[in-house]
Amino acid sequence: MRLAETIAEELRARNDLGPDPDSWRILLAFHVGRAGHPQLAQQLVAPLLTGPGPDGRSDTARQVLFAVAGPGADTRLQIILLRADLDEAPEDAIEDRLRLHHTLGSGYARLGDYHRALPHARQEYPLRAGRQGPDHPDTLTTRSNIASWTGQCGDAREALRLFRELLPDRQRVLGADHPDTLTARGNIAFWTGECGDAREALRLGRELLPDQQRVLGTDHPATLTTRSNIAAWTGECGDAREALRLGRELLPDRQRVLGTDHPDTLNTRNNIASWTGKVGDAQ
């Protein structure tokens, strides 16, 4: 991988290599992508997708990207094209830059690449606030994305601070029962737990659950997630037996609503197994 990155950097920096580098890019992108590094493959083929080149090279580069990127191939291809558009967008093209930063942030987030998603959300926010106003629902959503992706990048305390700042604005603008307001409350509870305060997270989760059941319904995925978090925080507070009971109550509802193969259903089964061991039944 060190050698591949060195070659990729030289291909980016040099323009005296004749026609061969395009072939080298495609070949190296295929191999590093197959080795499990689609981001580097994307960087290698990007110039072939966005710049002038011999006929057929762009199509070949697209095929390589789809071959190595798996389920994220469409998103990776979109990101390459959007980044090229962003590089060419004038600074005063506010609408275009707003749209591009928003779409790029969302695309990186879909890939789980929050370190690249977060800078785009941070650049989107002042553009959106200036164009739509600080209280526009889309502006509040951008703030929510910044908070979530900040946490996903490893800064749980800053994520918690940002969500605590966001909540009163969502309550004032959208109302206490709006789904986005409930989501902000759920995020505050979650990041409180991630900051190590399971007892306060449990209290917040128990306060949130009846409001979600009333507004969203008992089968809504967000409601089920809160029940899962309550079970987890109950266990973290030292009551593994109650956590096990709550997990066993939750499992059939997740199986019925989400399906037996959904990651959240599998996570509940895993938690049940873990808490079964913690109550002393290793067998």
- Nearest-angstrom CA–CA distance, 212 and 40: 42
Average pLDDT over all residues of the chain: 91
Q: Is 119 exposed, middle or buried (0-12, 13-18, 19+ CB in 10 A)?
A: middle
Kindly give, in sequence order, each residue whose CB lies less than 8 Å from that of residue 1, ignoring residues fewer than 6 positions away.
Answer: 32, 35, 37, 40
Phi, psi of 51 (to 5 degrees): -120, 175
What confidence tier does 249 reach under pLDDT thresholds 50, 70, 90?
Answer: very high
Q: Are 184 and 172 in contact (CB under 8 A)?
A: no
Which pLDDT tens digit goes with each residue over 52-90? 555 567 777 777 777 776 777 778 878 877 887 898 899
Q: What is the mean pLDDT of residues 168-183?
A: 98
Q: Which of 38-42, 206-210, 233-237 has the lowest mean pLDDT?
A: 38-42
Q: What is the pLDDT of residue 53?
A: 54
Q: What is the mean pLDDT of residues 274-283?
A: 96
Angle at 212 between CA 159 and CA 249, to 5 degrees: 100
- Nearest-angstrom CA–CA distance, 137 and 258: 28
- Nearest-angstrom CA–CA distance, 183 and 43: 35
Q: Which of 15-24, 182-191, 270-279 has the lowest mean pLDDT?
A: 15-24
Q: What is the pLDDT of residue 72?
A: 77
pLDDT beyond 80 at 23? no
